[in-house]
Chains A and B, each alone.
Chain A
């Protein structure tokens, strides 16, 4: 029976269009980082059993309307999901497996803080089914870690990473660069060090001042000086691509680098504009049901979500997406990845041809490449992605 479902799913539209994944949001952190605009909260008392039951109830409800899918990947994000008890994670994975088939080598990622406490739980996560760890290292010097409001040190991070490496086959870590007072040379040195540590995947983000964060308040008030100007930030990006490639990690998305085959399958579902179920406070989803693609959003505040999930529904918003909406989302997501998009799929979604004048213009500028119905951004195009998308958006 499992085989039959798997086959059907393999041939169905969502597989072709990016696959199906599940995102589980754990909203709690030990401390809030000043640059972070994710839905994270600091709370002293968490009744983890209650939370587990809420997640399970959400999974049961989703399973009823999403039968016959294959789950390609699961992602525990946050917040800090490495604050969850391994048993909670294991129970969620078990429930997912109960409802949907998974491939033989499923990708089940958990985001982890690189602290000593978390490292002690890694064995438990692995036993519960987690196959991949994504670690928020962020910087490889203590001064900058402090500036970024991180509560761990470089030594702790390296030790945690060792443990993760000995426990999981796949471990990735994040760094934030284009930081205050960082020179191009500083970053080259730090990145080379990171590439020596790295196994097969790195996420390298340029620091962005997001609205509503502590950094943004400081920036508005004239604080947070020494951030790189546009030209330096662009040079840093170019150097990043170059050094990663030399180390065999290819930039497969704007900020993600991996050895061939080691790309994050879960994140690729977003960028290939597949279907994903998002559960937990503030989680977003994209679900195709009876031929209609919906954008879903769960209650944002932890307690509001918990109570609603217990009462019967953590989902707050469910909007049907028009063809144009879907086309624009596909553009926004698909042009981020090196493999690019299929213009036939794009035009079918939009019900209209792509703007060929804009295509010619962007091609002439060396920002995109096209062959047949296959369209992708060049590295320069990815660095100017917002403007490129601005030209092509429906």
Chain B
């Protein structure tokens, strides 16, 4: 029943919001003593059992009846479910009567686990005081676990280690406990052995939450200070805002203010998720819940923002707030140019619910009208692209992802370059900088050589290489532009899927970067231009023109395909002319058939992008950029 996960439970809860319209909400006084509250998150790698553990905690405490539990399966976005990832933060409030006889309120925040949402993760972590570190005792620590556990440590969390899946034959608790101590540096002597599948260790986990995690601090009589943890759009209620109260009390009917922009809203509803939405009258210090205030757009609610009262509010913003910054850009164009307006609608709608996704219109000579979009990372890009194709049924051409380059001009100014097509005249450019990342890769040692080669080939600088048992942990300083395209695919392929990978942004560094153009039949194809390091340009150029030679069908004439830097051609291939394309027999009965065939052929051509006199198939725009080595 892995699918019966917490993420789904929460998805269901969101859906229930409109199913229970008209049902009178149960107004219960829920304000709780600070020392009876425990707020925590769960840190785990995908598939290590985070969702199942969450489900067990909910079940064990009777928060949801066993009978209902079976129904918590569907919902949440298809993409979240299929990829086993969490994109939005979710919470659940668990009432627990501990062995000491006291009633506690446990608030669990389920955070997105992926590096693209690192900022969201860090905010969620700031909203709780402790974490459960869940490690699959048959697998061990993974790169993603590390990144998230560091977020937890940064937030000064108390951390309880859980060794999960002890029912599996391959489970090896001693080895994994040792690994936690070696790799993460956490004391794992008290690690709890759990099987979320059989329920073993669940009670011990609940007791550890109560005993080991600290209670929140907060001042009931201080001015209201609440953190905006996450938000999403609901068709009936408008934007639902997830908040953690730091100080003060938030009540229904009050007027609140967002500190980042001073906007004021009237609070319609306050409540908690158990995991179904339950309305209450107020939220006090240490509590986690939701509010609605007739807010129309998710864009107006920024994760990490401070919420206070309009009058007599605090003026101290919570530290660490920053607006979302896209790091990866690419062009999205409709395959059928007639669908441009549909694409605009789809993007507008998605943007309503995703403040971190930016877009502007773009025109490409090769691809026509489309949008240049900014994303938090590659996963974010894929999620948005998949949603447009799936939920809005628009077939897309995605251009090569690009990072943001800093172009330092001779006059001392700096320009951000999101699209290689916008590269300014080189005579005015002093130097260029590119974003770098710190990549952490955990890999079984038989694949280490391939991983090192891959990183080296992508201009990586090795920073660290350590062993934990038979697994190596490598840390590389890598240019983001070498990672955005197919690094992850290559890593998976050279390690047969056994490597785990995570990264964090490390700022900008100067390097010898050039814009490489691709010319097909002597005309530059803007959608195929890329920024590359000068030393790698020949290799990349060669690979691209060879790929394109296979991807472009033969025409009636020969077609030169070139890669060039400025006016200098660095790689060239020639696609030879088609020699035979004729029907051998055509008599009286064939005219009709032949005509239909030609008309079909003509319609098929529309599916290609005409560039000059050359038809380039859609897949060429992405496939050409994939590197095999």
Chain A residues close to B by CB (< 8 Å): 23, 205-208, 230-231, 233-234, 237, 254-255, 267, 270, 276, 278, 282-286, 295, 297, 325, 328-329, 332-333, 336, 361-362, 365, 367, 382-390, 393
Show 8 A/B contacts (Cβ-Cβ < 8 Å), sorted by A: A230-B579, A233-B579, A332-B586, A336-B586, A362-B556, A384-B578, A386-B583, A390-B605
- The smallest C-beta distance from B555 to any residue of chain A, in angstroms, reads 8
Q: How far is the CA of A270 from the CA of B555 in the complex (A)?
A: 29
Is there a chain A Cβ closer than 8 Å to B170's Cβ? no
Q: How far is the CA of A144 from the CA of B595 in the complex (A)?
A: 32
Q: How far is the CA of A393 from the CA of B599 in the complex (A)?
A: 8
Say yes or no: B581 contacts A278, CB within 8 Å: no
Say yes or no: A233 contacts B580, CB within 8 Å: yes
Q: Across the two chains, which residue of chain A brings its CB closest to B586?
A: A336
Q: How far is the CA of A276 from the CA of B602 in the complex (A)?
A: 28
Query: Besides A233-B579, A383-B582, A387-B555, 11 other CB < 8 A contacts?
Result: A208-B585, A254-B582, A270-B591, A278-B588, A329-B595, A336-B586, A383-B581, A384-B580, A385-B581, A386-B583, A387-B556
The residue that A205 contacts in the complex, of B585, B599, B613, with Cβ under 8 A, is B585
Q: Across the two chains, which residue of chain B brings its CB closest to A206?
A: B584
Cβ contacts under 8 Å, A208 to chain B: 583-585
Q: Which of B556-588 contact A (CB under 8 A)?
A: 556-557, 578-588
A384-B578, A386-B581 are known contacts. Are A267 and B595 too (CB-CB below 8 A)?
no
Cβ contacts under 8 Å, B580 to chain A: 230, 233-234, 237, 383-384
Is there a chain A Cβ closer than 8 Å to B427's Cβ? no
Cβ contacts under 8 Å, A387 to chain B: 555-556, 578, 581
Cβ contacts under 8 Å, A231 to chain B: 579
A390-B602, A393-B602 are known contacts. Are A384 and B589 too (CB-CB below 8 A)?
no
Q: How far is the CA of A333 from the CA of B592 in the complex (A)?
A: 11
The residue that B582 contacts in the complex, of A278, A282, A382, with Cβ under 8 A, is A382
**Interface contact tally, CB-CB below 8 A:** 95
Cβ contacts under 8 Å, B555 to chain A: 387
Say yes or no: A284 contacts B591, CB within 8 Å: yes
Say yes or no: A255 contacts B591, CB within 8 Å: no
Say yes or no: B591 contacts A285, CB within 8 Å: no
Q: Which of B582-616 contact A (CB under 8 A)?
A: 582-589, 591-592, 594-595, 598-599, 601-602, 605, 613
Say yes or no: A254 contacts B556, CB within 8 Å: no
Say yes or no: B583 contacts A385, CB within 8 Å: yes
A230-B578, A387-B556 are known contacts. Are A332 and B598 too (CB-CB below 8 A)?
yes
> Considering only CB atoms and an 8 Å cut-off, how many residues of chain B contact the other chain?
25
- The smallest C-beta distance from A240 to any residue of chain B, in angstroms, reads 11
Q: Which of A254, A276, A382 has the most CB of B within 10 A?
A: A254
Say yes or no: A386 contacts B582, CB within 8 Å: yes
Say yes or no: B587 contacts A267, CB within 8 Å: yes
Say yes or no: A328 contacts B588, CB within 8 Å: no
Q: How far is the CA of A237 from the CA of B581 in the complex (A)?
A: 12
- The smallest C-beta distance from A352 to any residue of chain B, in angstroms, reads 16
- The smallest C-beta distance from B613 to any residue of chain A, in angstroms, reads 7
Q: How far is the CA of A46 from the CA of B335 in the complex (A)?
A: 56
Q: Across the two chains, which residue of chain B brings its CB closest to A178?
A: B584
Q: How far is the CA of A47 from the CA of B342 in the complex (A)?
A: 63
A208-B585, A230-B579 are known contacts. Are A384 and B556 too (CB-CB below 8 A)?
yes
Q: Across the two chains, which residue of chain B brings its CB closest to A317?
A: B592
The residue that B589 contacts in the complex, of A206, A278, A365, A385, with Cβ under 8 A, is A278
Say yes or no: B556 contacts A367, CB within 8 Å: yes
Say yes or no: B585 contacts A23, CB within 8 Å: no
Say yes or no: B594 contacts A332, CB within 8 Å: yes
Say yes or no: B579 contacts A383, CB within 8 Å: yes
- The smallest C-beta distance from B602 to any residue of chain A, in angstroms, reads 6
Q: How far is the CA of A328 from the CA of B581 in the complex (A)?
A: 18
Say yes or no: A386 contacts B585, CB within 8 Å: no
The digit string for B411-423, where 1 denotes a CB below 8 A from any CB of A, is 0000000000000
Say yes or no: B579 contacts A384, CB within 8 Å: yes
- The smallest C-beta distance from A68 to any residue of chain B, in angstroms, reads 22
- The smallest C-beta distance from B319 to any residue of chain A, in angstroms, reads 64
Q: How far is the CA of A230 from the CA of B587 in the complex (A)?
A: 24
Q: Across the two chains, which residue of chain B brings its CB closest to A392?
A: B598
Cβ contacts under 8 Å, A367 to chain B: 556
Q: How far is the CA of A325 from the CA of B605 in the complex (A)?
A: 20
Cβ contacts under 8 Å, A329 to chain B: 591-592, 595
A284-B591, A295-B592, A325-B595 are known contacts. Are A333 and B586 too (CB-CB below 8 A)?
yes
A208-B583, A385-B583 are known contacts. Are A284 and B592 too (CB-CB below 8 A)?
yes
Cβ contacts under 8 Å, B579 to chain A: 230-231, 233-234, 383-384
Q: How far is the CA of A296 from the CA of B178 in the complex (A)?
A: 85
Cβ contacts under 8 Å, B594 to chain A: 332
- The smallest C-beta distance from B599 to any residue of chain A, in angstroms, reads 7
Q: How far is the CA of A276 from the CA of B590 in the complex (A)?
A: 13
Say yes or no: B581 contacts A254, CB within 8 Å: no
- The smallest C-beta distance from B245 to any residue of chain A, in angstroms, reads 69
- The smallest C-beta distance from A209 to any residue of chain B, in angstroms, reads 11
Q: How far is the CA of A361 from the CA of B557 in the complex (A)?
A: 10
Q: How far is the CA of A207 from the CA of B591 in the complex (A)?
A: 19
Say yes or no: A332 contacts B588, CB within 8 Å: no
Q: How far is the CA of A297 from the CA of B588 in the complex (A)?
A: 11
Q: Which of B555, B588, B599, B602 has the most CB of A within 10 A?
A: B588
Q: How far is the CA of A328 from the CA of B592 in the complex (A)?
A: 10
Cβ contacts under 8 Å, B556 to chain A: 362, 365, 367, 384, 387-388
Cβ contacts under 8 Å, A255 to chain B: 584-585
Q: How far is the CA of A335 from the CA of B583 in the complex (A)?
A: 12
- The smallest C-beta distance from A184 to any residue of chain B, in angstroms, reads 14
Say yes or no: B588 contacts A270, CB within 8 Å: yes
- The smallest C-beta distance from A104 to any residue of chain B, in angstroms, reads 25
The digit string for B541-567, where 1 denotes a CB below 8 A from any CB of A, is 000000000000001110000000000
Q: How far is the CA of A367 from the CA of B599 in the complex (A)?
A: 21
- The smallest C-beta distance from B558 to any residue of chain A, in angstroms, reads 10
Cβ contacts under 8 Å, A325 to chain B: 595
Say yes or no: A286 contacts B582, CB within 8 Å: no
Q: How far is the CA of A365 from the CA of B556 in the complex (A)?
A: 8
Q: How far is the CA of A239 from the CA of B60 in the complex (A)?
A: 85
Q: How far is the CA of A362 from the CA of B556 in the complex (A)?
A: 9
